[in-house]
Amino acid sequence: MNRPTHSHAPLPDPTSKLVEGWHCLHLYYRVDQMALNQLSPSELAEGREALVHLLDPERPGAPARLQTSVVSGHKADLGLMIMDSDPLLIDGVRQAIRASRLGTVLQPSYSFVSITEVSEYVPTVEQYGDKLQRSEGMKTDDPAYTAKLNAYGQRLPMMNRQRLCPDFPSWPVTCFYPMNKIRHPLANWYMEPFSSRSAMMSEHATSGIKFAGRVSQLITASTGYDDWEWGVTLWGRNPESIKEIVYTMRFDTASAKYAEFGPFYISYLKTPVEALDHLQI
């Protein structure tokens, strides 16, 4: 973007919205059985109804994206993934849960705050062309080269839209975990030149593309927003693909040498009604 830099130029209006893309919040809750036991049947019914409405992604005023899942293991019972251009609309869901009849029942166990981004390693059309010449030895006068370049140029705006304002897949299994690129004296990602980081991310992308149709990934950025640098959300067509992609990527140099990971949450997509039924609320 070309913004005038002389001192009299007006600055953009202060805003909590991003110039492009969305805010993202992953929320995890554990059911407190003691609190649940204390609700009367009518309070419980009221709480259930309010929550089902609140978590309905189609209700008026709902955040742009809202997905509910039930979590395996003791880390959590209920998982929510929420996205919107307005961070306070997202946070409103969290506050409404807390303030509802089920607010004492659903105890927060983990959260992760991030924003969408187009990674600096997504090649521009020009960089993609350079890559075809360098690594695939294609010549610029080859019609196949022009065809590939045009196809990429056509796909790129859609791909970037999906990175910034993603549709959530409805595949049954989802996995979330935060990660960093390490800053160890012997393996410091941030001391590597862009060219070598870019080459490693290209290797990473190549290994990821093999999972097309089985795993859908969304990388959200959290440097400055949460305790890790990225959040990784995966949706799997089946459960084994999640294990397979995470295992396979451990061998990419970008992961093998430079990545460290936080807690993993594996969960199964459900409608709010199904999720509450499953949690026996």
| Least Å from the CB of residue 181 to ligand 76R | 6
User: Pairing state of beta strands 78-84 and 23-31?
Assistant: antiparallel
| Least Å from the CB of residue 120 to ligand 76R | 6
Cα torsion angle, 179, 181, 182, 187, sign: positive
Cα torsion angle, 245, 177, 156, 165, sign: positive
Nearer to ligand 76R, 119 or 150 (CB): 119
Which residues are designated catalytic? 177
Q: Look at residues 22, 55, 31, 16 and name the one whose alpha carbon lies nearest to residue 233.
A: 22
- Token readout for 172 is 């049954």
Residues 6+ apart with CB under 8 A from 204: 249, 252, 254, 255
| Least Å from the CB of residue 70 to ligand 76R | 22
Nearer to ligand 76R, 67 or 255 (CB): 255
Nearer to ligand 76R, 67 or 116 (CB): 116
| Least Å from the CB of residue 232 to ligand 76R | 4
Nearer to ligand 76R, 93 or 175 (CB): 175
Cβ–Cβ contacts within 10 Å for residue 126, how many? 10
Report the C-alpha gap between 88 and 84 in whole angstroms.
9
Closest residue to ligand 76R: CB criterion: 208
Interface with ligand 76R (CB under 6 A): 119-122, 163, 179, 201, 204-205, 208-209, 211-212, 215, 217, 219, 230, 232, 234, 245-246, 249-250, 255, 259
Residues 6+ apart with CB under 8 A from 71: 28, 77, 78, 79, 265, 266, 267
Cα torsion angle, 199, 200, 202, 207, sign: positive
Nearer to ligand 76R, 131 or 204 (CB): 204
| Least Å from the CB of residue 206 to ligand 76R | 8
DSSP 27-80: EEEEE-HHHHHTS-HHHHHHHHHHHHHHT-TTSTT--SEEEEEEE-STT-SEEE
Report the C-alpha gap between 160 and 150 in whole angstroms.
16
Q: Look at residues 32, 53, 160 and name the one whose alpha carbon lies nearest to residue 106.
A: 32
| Least Å from the CB of residue 1 to ligand 76R | 20
Give the DSSP H/E element, type plus range, for residue 106.
Answer: strand 106-115
Nearer to ligand 76R, 35 or 118 (CB): 118
